[in-house]
A and B are shown apart, each in its own frame.
Chain A
């Protein structure tokens, strides 16, 4: 078995030697450890993870939106752009991280580039599909009302595509939170940090694995719920699924 991480190092955390009985038995969730290390391990990792996700989804959305505008306006570009985002998505993350290291080094930038490239897959497809789904008769009446092409896009097509776009944003955000845990293969950063640390222990440090993995799941579910509320607030005319 190869090592869990690319470069071993980083903080050496748990020590089974002393501590509660639960820790000595490598129990599944020792509350004493969680309480003790919330401040120095779990909370900082959670904050880093939220930062990673916000930046990745923000930049990813901006790029995907521009690409989608191109693919929507000029249909010929849609298949190649779609295939491009497909291919990016199939590159295994642990390989992509290593390939980026010679260019951007062992940095958060490297992680962000990989995360952004994975968000494009979901976002591009959803934005284009949402814009395409606007019924032709609606566009016809917009033209009949004398709206320019730009006005049609901003006042008719974009609002009607909003539910699909926001649905894509939800999926991309949740997926990014989940994928970002693998980033700690590269450097100790985000919730993947404690996860990989737990896995690197000879017998797998169960409490740390469960606490940090559980936090990642909770973060993803909260983000999903939050975006669902946003979806409902921004598009009150569409029924929430």
Chain B
């Protein structure tokens, strides 16, 4: 039974390639817009707080509060405020995407060897140079790990947006009556593919950052 479902799903994919492609593009647009905004907010904030060694409490609180937020309630909350469409979902996903990026960035920069920072300061680097040339490169693997967690989470959650008028693959997944179970499975496979590809790309970047950091290892 399960096997025939997969067969039907794999038949659904070429038969509805155009539909799946456009819905995948919608999902990607929503998820990557939200991810981009979350990065723009969380990355500089995490870098700054980590550099100043301040806000440990904020970082810890954001991380546990962030995990505690029920995605469906957050999406619903923004539907109530902003109405149904693109932005209610985008804003909700930004809220959900910020915590892992902020906490990882904070701990990445905060955890950089103080001796390295002292040495850089002694060499006459300005605070800004220390942040961009010492702390950022040294903390990059951990920062990218945070981006990876956020990306997978935002992409998976963006499907829930489909039931809140967000379009995308979630619209197919939430509408079994129209697309049938093979359609649901096919759309779910597309979501997984987008999430896994994004995660793989960030994992490669992470590995490259690691290698550059420790060429002898």
Chain A positions near chain B (C-beta within 8 angstroms): 1-4, 6, 86-87, 89-96, 98-99, 102-103, 171, 174-175, 177-179, 181-182, 185, 191-192, 195-196, 198-199, 204, 206, 209-210, 212-213, 216-217, 220-221, 224, 241
Q: How long is the Cα–Cα vector from A51 to B188 in the complex, in angstroms?
A: 28
B217 within 8 A of A: no
B42 within 8 A of A: no
B138 within 8 A of A: no
The 8 A-B pairs at the shortest CB distance, nearest first, are namely: A213-B73, A220-B68, A95-B188, A92-B159, A181-B70, A90-B195, A1-B165, A90-B192
Q: Is the CB of A178 within 8 A of B196?
A: no
CB neighbours (8 Å) of A199 from chain B are 72, 76, 79, 164
Residue from B1, B70, B165, B191 in contact with A92 in the complex, judged by beta carbons closer than 8 Å: B191
Name the prevailing secondary structure of the B interface residues.
helix
Q: Is the CB of A195 within 8 A of B173?
A: no
Q: How long is the Cα–Cα vector from A182 to B169 in the complex, in angstroms?
A: 17
Q: How long is the Cα–Cα vector from A87 to B199 in the complex, in angstroms?
A: 11
Q: How long is the Cα–Cα vector from A6 to B195 in the complex, in angstroms?
A: 24
Q: Is the CB of A4 within 8 A of B181?
A: no
Q: Is the CB of B76 within 8 A of A213?
A: yes
Contacts between chains A and B (CB distance < 8 A), count: 141
CB proximity of B75 to chain A, nearest CB, Å: 8
Name the prevailing secondary structure of the A interface residues.
helix
CB neighbours (8 Å) of A220 from chain B are 67-68, 70
Closest to B96 in A: A178
Q: How long is the Cα–Cα vector from A1 to B175 in the complex, in angstroms?
A: 10
A-B pairs with beta carbons under 8 Å apart, 11 shown: A3-B174, A6-B174, A91-B192, A94-B160, A95-B173, A178-B70, A182-B70, A192-B72, A199-B76, A199-B79, A206-B80
B84 within 8 A of A: yes
Q: Is the CB of B196 within 8 A of A4?
A: no
Known pairs A86-B199, A199-B72. 7 more at Cβ < 8 A?
Answer: A90-B199, A92-B192, A98-B184, A99-B181, A174-B68, A199-B76, A220-B67
Q: Is the CB of A3 within 8 A of B163?
A: yes
Q: Is the CB of B181 within 8 A of A102?
A: yes
CB neighbours (8 Å) of A212 from chain B are 73
CB neighbours (8 Å) of B192 from chain A are 87, 90-92
Q: A90-B196, A185-B163, A204-B79 are in contact. Are A6 and B176 (CB under 8 A)?
A: yes
**Contacting residues of chain B (72-102) with chain A, CB-CB under 8 angstroms:** 72-74, 76-77, 79-80, 84
Q: How long is the Cα–Cα vector from A191 to B69 in the complex, in angstroms?
A: 13
Q: Is the CB of A213 within 8 A of B159?
A: no
Q: A2-B174, A92-B160, A204-B80 are in contact. Are A209 and B73 (CB under 8 A)?
A: yes
CB proximity of A102 to chain B, nearest CB, Å: 7
Q: Is the CB of B184 within 8 A of A95?
A: yes
